[in-house]
Chains A and B, each alone.
Chain A
């Protein structure tokens, strides 16, 4: 069975600080990897995704994530956060074949202070 771990439950940063949120998964097969974001009062939105190819993927709003297969990791990064990045971030893993429902991490709440 798949599992996803997000080790940072609550992160507080000042504006312009760099961000890295950890995500590790356990699954032996080929996976699809996602980061979703939920801004306060809004619904879950796709931030970026990885299917194959270049392990460094770029998403919306200056976010990027790097897939490191040997570490089963898919960490989210942003070089300089803004107050508007305050949100909850979820890492998710989907199967490549068969069952494609997503397994989510427990989420990381990011608070950016102006």
Chain B
């Protein structure tokens, strides 16, 4: 069965420090990968998605970047964190290539980031 891992689970970082959040998927190959952010009291906002190694699409201009160095690894980064980067970051994978464009996304446990 497929599993998705995220780490760290919780992170407290000072403003201006760098960030690296990692997401890995097991039990599937060539998945679509997604980074979402969930701010308190709000729904999930898509940040980045990737359909393959080295292929990153950004949904919103921001202080963050993403990379996909391996098929099942997705990394969210920042060179200098802002207070507004605080939130709950979720990684998701979707099975690609199903007939008719049907994809279900499955979410990881998330990383709670607090920028002070």
Residues of A participating in the B interface, judged by any CB pair closer than 8 Å? 4, 6, 30, 32, 34, 36, 43-46, 49, 51-52, 90, 92, 94-97, 99-107
Contact = CB atoms under 8 A, between A and B. Distances in A.
Contacts, number: 63
A34 B104 contact: yes
B26 interface: no
Question: Which of B36, B44, B102, B109 gathers most chain A CB within 10 Å?
Answer: B44
B107 A96 contact: no
Given A100-B94, A106-B43, A107-B43, A46 B104 contact: yes
Given A44-B90, A97-B101, A104 B110 contact: no
B102 A43 contact: no
Contacts of B32: 100
Given A43-B109, A44-B90, A44-B107, A105 B43 contact: yes
Nearest to B98: A51
Interface in B52-97: 57, 59, 90, 92, 94
A41 B59 CA distance: 28
Given A90-B43, A102-B44, 9 more contacts: A4-B43, A32-B101, A51-B102, A92-B44, A96-B100, A101-B59, A102-B46, A104-B45, A107-B43
B105 interface: yes
A99 B36 CA distance: 15
Contacts of A100: 32, 94, 101, 103
